Structure formats: structure tokens, C-alpha cells
Amino acid sequence: MFKHVSAFIFAHAKQNTMKIDSLLHSKSIKAFSLGLLLLLNACAVPGKTDKQQQANTGIGKELNRPKLVVGIVVDQMRYDFLYRYWSKYGNGGFKKLVREGYNFKNTQYSYVPTYTGPGHASIYTGSTPSLNGIIGNYWYNRNNVTSVYCVEDKTVNTVGSTSKAGLMSPANLLTTTITDELRLATNKGSKVIGIALKDRGSILPAGHLANAAYWFDSPSGNWITSTYYMNNLPQWVQEFNNKKYGDQYLSQVWNTLLPIEEYIESSADDVAWEQQLPGEKKPVFPHDVPSIREKDYELLRSLPGGNTITKDFALAALSAENMGKSNYTDFLAVSFSTTDYVGHSFGPNSIETQDLYLRLDKDIEQLISEIEKSVGKENVLFFLTADHGAAHVPAFMQANKVPAGVANSTMLQDTVEHYLNKAYGTGKWIEKYTNQQVYLNRKLIESKKLDRAQVQQKVAGIVMRLNGVARAVPADQMQSTSWSSGLMERLESGYNAQRSGDVIVLLQPGWFEGWEGKEPKGTTHGSYSNYDTHVPLIWYGWNIKPGESSAEVKVADIAPTIASWLYIQEPNGSVGKPLQELMK
């Protein structure tokens, strides 16, 4: 710019040599010269304006990021559990998060089926099963004619035990996670660790590039990992395992934290629809744990000590790995699995479930308190959510005159086989029925020169006749049509063409599946209904101002929200949106 202005002055002076002196003393040229001087002065300090602009927008040399992100997932936590037991929670756990954090009161899963594997995958990938490939805890592999567990990996070995519980990795996860993107963005300078009793609750959040993922081994009572991550347990993990905390928790009788008559938010203690702990005669307090424990540590998963040992191990990892103390943002992913085990056995209206949440409240209080002491509240970003909710026990609902029931999965398969045999000839028409999906024998269909889409439609029509079925959808319809809202959008988001079945079955609200010969006790999850899809989502700590919103948001929004705060790329299959605009 200075070059062009100078050329203009000299050209103008050459054309007007007789008026140069008067021009130099005129008010207009003085003003012009002053402006030119200011421009030259700005040019003499390159970048000053840019730096000022960066400071104003927050994009400068020092980006404002938390030193640590802590993801807390409570397995099978219905949204209403935040408030159902509110009067009995302490002030430092769930209440602290709600009062001092930002609470999204209408957070929904946008797909079915709603299981543990898909839930953890969706939280951390910002995507749905249709993209990340985790369509269930298990699914059927047509090529190998076998069931696949969501985190199984037979190419790796167990580290920390002689059992096969460590033959696990994130190999079946098809997309990156927010934890992967953090590692990539910092050239692996950030530290990422996943922790849960369940392997899938640890591995899927930690992602492909984690420093470590640890889960609980029932035969040994150890926290273990696999050779996917390391060849030997760190010294601090070995020392933790050697303390045998599991024995301590299994030597204690599980009685209620409060006098049992104060559990007015729950149904009676002795009811027919609750499943007792293994070895018990009745599902009632007190649970005499020492008298029913076996040689292994499996029972710990269904006791409050399962959550407590998870909290203890997470704090040990925080300290030993110096998380939140480097120049990079670290990420600690913690999942509390015991709530799912207890929920399945006793149901959401049981005193056991309520007592477990009152005790978990204290575990979360200690987790938050210790992390804040170590890293500082201003330096750590927490979020709390759940991988799915849970249905009311159908027998409980029926006792209260509310429609509900258990669909017989064995009858469904037998009925479909019977009608297909009549329509197309004798054969084994169903290879597998799992995740409420029918996997047809495609080789048999091809050998009989049948149209697969027509057979799928035939099966859907048969299934629709069965008690408790709301809808049956052929896979061909999933691949040829797209939906932007409602039930079918959830179904489409849970469908993966390579891994899903040929016909997807949806049950009526209040219904879930059972098997012939098995007494339907306890509860489960997996449906499109709000009791399974509506979960908590609370942000707390670093840069979070207290507030709440009733706007509908998706679980898939969590990962891109974190990505926006950390100034990193969102996961490569992310379909969510950052939530910062709603939090202003």
C-alpha cells in the first residue's frame, strides 16, 4: 500500500511542479501526511493488529483448554434417577453436578438397539451404530457363521491374568473416538486411559490410540488389559492388584445405607419379580455376601463394592500417571458398571437399585473431590451421562395395571421357520436371532432362486402377527429409504448393512424379550422407548457456568462438543453438533 501511495504523490508532484510548495503547506496534504505517517508506523510493527484481534477472539498463542477431561458413564442410569432419589443424595455428588454444572434435561439416544456397547461407542465417537459398526454387544457374522462380541480380538493376549478375559481390543470399532482425535491432535502427547469393570465400557471409550484400557478379571480379581496396549502391567497396577480390595468388599454384608423403612421411593423389598443374587434364596436385605461368594470375584460386579473399586482404581490411575499435569490435555474415561448388573437383577423400582445409587453418589463425590484437589476445578472438565436406561419390570407394571409383557423369542423363531417351510419348502431358514434381528439363511434363499427382499417382507408379515410386536421392518427397506425423524430414523441409525440382520423387530412399549423356559424376572433394555433412550447429561468444572436446558440434544453431540472446546477435529464418523451455543 505504501508503494502505491508514494507513486501517487510523486506523479502528482511532477505534473504540478509550480504548486509543490503550496501543496506541502496546505491543510489537506498535512492531514494526508499524518495519515500516511500512522500507516507507516503500523507497518513498522508487523502483526500488532493480528495479535490484538487474536486476543479479542481468544485465538492466540495460548489456547484456553482444560488440563484434564473426565468422562463418567453410569451403566443403565435412567434419567429420572437424578431426581427420584434427590432428597437422599449428599451435596457433593449428583446434586453438586446439577447445581454447579450445566444440565441437559432432554438428552436422547437417536438409534436402536440401546445396549452397553453401542452406548459407549456413540458417546465417544459422536456417531451411531450405522457408522461406528457397534450394533450391539454381540452380533452375527455371516462369513464366519458365529456370534461376534463387540470388543473381542483373538489376535491379542491377556495381560495381568491367565484367563481369556483379556482377548479384547477396539478392532471392531469402525470410526475414531474423541479420545483418538485428542491423541492425534497432540502427536500422542495427551494421555488417554479407560477404566470399567466391563471390558467394553473401558475399551470403546479409550479408543484405538489409548495409552491404556483396564477392565476387571473375575477369575483373579485383578485389573487387566491386553497386548493391544502393552505387554506388562505398570508397577502401580500390580501394586493395586496385590492389595486385593475385592476380598475386602466380598467379606462385607450388603445392608441398606439408611434404615430400610426410609426407602419410600422404591417398592417392597420382597417381591416376586426380582432376581436374587447367585446362591441366595430370596432377593432381600441384608444380602449375606460372605456366605454366597464363590472362589472367584464375579459376585463383586453385582455389589456396591464394584463401583467403589472402580473409583479407587480411577484415582490410582490419576495419581500414578500424573494425569492433568502436563502441557497437554489428558482424558480419563470411567464407566461404573455395577448399576447395570444390579438393575438387570432387581429392576429400577427395587430398594437394591436405590441403595446402590445412594452409595454411588458418595463414590462420585469422592472422585470429583480428589480430582479437583489434584488438578483444580478450573482445570478439569467433567461430563456425566449413561449408555442407556432401563424398562420397568413387566410383572411390576402388570401388578399396577399398566400394559407390559415379555415376548417369547423362541416362539418367534419357531413360528417364522414353520411358515417359511410351508411357503418355500423345508430348510433351516433362520441362521440367528439376536438383538431383535432375524438373520436369514441367504445361501438357502439363493439356492432356491428366491428374491431376498420378498422373503424379508414375508418374514416381517409373519412376525407382525405375534403378541407384543409393534413393527417388523425388512432390511431392504432400511437400505432403500431414508428418514429424518421419528422411530424409523432411530431404526435407520442403528442399522449397519454389513453387520445387521434381515428383519428388525420392534416390540410394544413396556415389552421386552424373554426365552422359553426362563422365568421373566428383573429387567433389561434395548428398545426405542424413552425409558431406554432418555439419559442424563451434565457438564461440570472448567469454564462451565451453572444452567439447564430442556432442548432435545443427542448423545452423539457429546464428542463434537468436547472437540470444539479442545480445538481439535471431531471423530471421523461424528454426526453430532457442538452444544456450546445452547449453554450461553
φ and ψ at residue 33, rounded to 5 degrees: -65, -40
434 pairs with which residues across the strands? 437
pLDDT of residue 409: 92
d(CA 348, CA 357): 11
| Strand pairing class (146-149; 138-141) | antiparallel
Residue 331: closest CA among 7, 91, 563, 77: 563
Other C-beta atoms lying within 10 Å of the C-beta of residue 450: 17
pLDDT band at 519 (very low <50, low <70, confident <90, very high): low
φ and ψ at residue 534, rounded to 5 degrees: -90, 115
Question: How far is C-alpha 129 from the chain's CA centre?
Answer: 12
φ and ψ at residue 455, rounded to 5 degrees: -65, -40
Sign of CA dihedral 265, 270, 271, 274: positive
d(CA 98, CA 538): 7
Mean pLDDT, residues 423-449 taken together: 96
406 pairs with which residues across the strands? 512
Mean pLDDT, residues 505-516 taken together: 88
pLDDT of residue 517: 52
Mean pLDDT, residues 47-70 taken together: 61
- Range list of H helices, 85-242: 94-100, 116-125, 129-132, 178-185, 199-206, 235-242
Mean pLDDT, residues 280-295 taken together: 96
**DSSP secondary structure code for residue 143 in this structure:** T
> What's the longest Cα–Cα distance across the chain?
116
* Number of separate helices (H) and strands (E) present in the chain: 24, 21
pLDDT band at 356 (very low <50, low <70, confident <90, very high): very high
Contact 193, 213 (CB under 8 A): yes
Mean pLDDT, residues 521-548 taken together: 97
Mean pLDDT, residues 207-220 taken together: 98
State the cell numbers at 489: 430414523
pLDDT band at 515 (very low <50, low <70, confident <90, very high): low
Q: Is the pLDDT of residue 251 over 90?
A: yes
Residue 346: closest CA among 275, 248, 281: 275
User: Angle, to 10 degrees, between the axis of helix 338-346 and the axis of helix 304-320?
Assistant: 170
Is the model more confident about 57 or about 540?
A: 540
Contact 97, 86 (CB under 8 A): no
User: Model's pTM, two decimal places?
Assistant: 0.89
* Model pLDDT for residues 131-190, shown as the tens digit of each residue: 999 999 999 999 989 999 999 999 999 999 999 999 999 999 999 999 999 999 999 999
pLDDT of residue 52: 41
pLDDT band at 540 (very low <50, low <70, confident <90, very high): very high
pLDDT of residue 518: 60
What is the set of domains in the chain, with CATH numbers? 2-42 (no CATH), 68-381+543-583 (3.40.720.10), 405-514 (3.30.1360.150)
pLDDT band at 369 (very low <50, low <70, confident <90, very high): very high
Q: What are the residue numbers of the active site?
A: 116
Q: Assign residue 406 a region: left if phi > 0, alpha if psi is -120 to 50, beta otherwise?
A: beta
pLDDT of residue 39: 38
In the block, residue with C-alpha cell 489376535: 155
pLDDT band at 361 (very low <50, low <70, confident <90, very high): very high
Contact 456, 475 (CB under 8 A): yes
pLDDT of residue 233: 98
Residue 228: closest CA among 219, 215, 246: 215
In the block, residue with C-alpha cell 416390540: 507
pLDDT of residue 481: 79
d(CA 317, CA 444): 52
pLDDT of residue 520: 74
% of the chain at pLDDT higher than 90:
85
Angle CA 299–83–273, to nearest 5:
45
454 residue type, one letter: Q
pLDDT of residue 479: 84
Mean pLDDT, residues 367-374 taken together: 98
Q: Is the pLDDT of residue 27 over 60?
A: no
pLDDT of residue 484: 75
d(CA 66, CA 562): 10
Mean pLDDT, residues 52-61 taken together: 42
pLDDT band at 229 (very low <50, low <70, confident <90, very high): very high
Sign of CA dihedral 73, 74, 80, 81: negative
d(CA 119, CA 122): 5
- The per-residue pLDDT of the chain, averaged, comes to 90
Q: Is the pLDDT of residue 220 over 70?
A: yes
**DSSP secondary structure code for residue 569 in this structure:** P
Of the given ranges (217-221, 242-246, 265-269, 476-480), which has the lowest mean pLDDT?
Answer: 476-480
Other C-beta atoms lying within 10 Å of the C-beta of residue 22: 10
pLDDT of residue 42: 41
Contact 354, 86 (CB under 8 A): no
pLDDT of residue 435: 92
pLDDT of residue 10: 39
Q: Is the pLDDT of residue 38 over 60?
A: no
